[in-house]
Structure 1
């Protein structure tokens, strides 16, 4: 996966990560990978997260799917929140 084509998706309830992965697997032209979190010093636990890689249209589809995922959870009585961070790395920025 190239960094400029990647989204990191973190969810507050790590037990819901598999559900998020299943939902996002419906997006075409996107590769999903579950990444183990790295614990900070003196931390008791760490949450895994998903990365989604693909072209712009595929990643846009993933972003558009997040509100539906959260809405369905809210309707089911779950209080979960997801955060998507898109990391852009351009060669020009890396040279600075």
Structure 2
């Protein structure tokens, strides 16, 4: 199902946070916090985007606390790329 316009806007803001993380402007904890803060903002539009963000946020927490520091960034970026692909497939652009 396609994301609502409101959810697409929230997803776009998260995509910006992800880009800032990739550029080294945000830490892993900061991008995880952005995901966590966005979860309650999503409307129940049937797209499942909130569940995808919740899953990605949990994965980032696992990455942060279980992987060696030099492994965290590439693993987190790979996971965040998957989240952006979910946004695109749900019609959120990003």
Larger Rg, first or second structure (1 or 2): 1
Q: Greater strand percent: which structure?
A: 1
Q: Greater helix percent: which structure?
A: 2
TM-score by length of 1: 0.36
